[in-house]
């Protein structure tokens, strides 16, 4: 599932966010030109639509993950995972 979202981000979000960053940061700082507000506005609107889809899908993914993480087998496996893997700390 993570691989899928990495691909979605690379193809849907990154080009839009990158275009905004270029106009807001790269163009003025590195190229000394004013930013093109029309390009920014166009990409912000497109990015809003992408993020709306993310919000809807991530709610479903969050529910799926919570259900999965609550399973005894997942808890056992999580004990062996590095810190920050989302499992509660083992009681000693």
Estimate the share of the chain in helix, then strand, then coil, as percent rounded to the nearest 5: 75, 0, 25
Fold that domain 2-63 belongs to in CATH: Glutathione S-transferase Yfyf (Class Pi); Chain A, domain 2 (1.20.1050)
Residue 88 has pLDDT above 60, yes or no: no
Q: For the chain, which residues make up each domain, given as ranges?
A: 2-63
pTM of the shown model: 0.63
- Give residues with Cβ within 8 angstroms of 24, minimum separation 6: 35, 40
Reported as a single tens digit per residue, the pLDDT across 2-53 is 788 788 888 899 999 999 999 999 999 988 999 999 999 999 999 999 999 9
CB 25 within 8 A of CB 62: no
């Amino acid at each position: 599932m993570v691989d899928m979202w990495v691909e979605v981000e690379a193809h849907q979000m990154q080009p839009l966010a990158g275009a905004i960053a270029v106009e807001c940061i790269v163009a003025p700082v590195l190229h000394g030109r004013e930013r093109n507000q029309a390009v920014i506005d166009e990409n912000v609107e497109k990015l809003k639509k992408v993020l709306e889809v993310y919000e809807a899908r991530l709610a479903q993914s969050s529910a799926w993950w919570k259900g999965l993480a609550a399973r005894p087998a997942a808890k056992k496996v999580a004990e062996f995972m590095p810190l920050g893997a989302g499992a509660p700390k083992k009681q000693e």
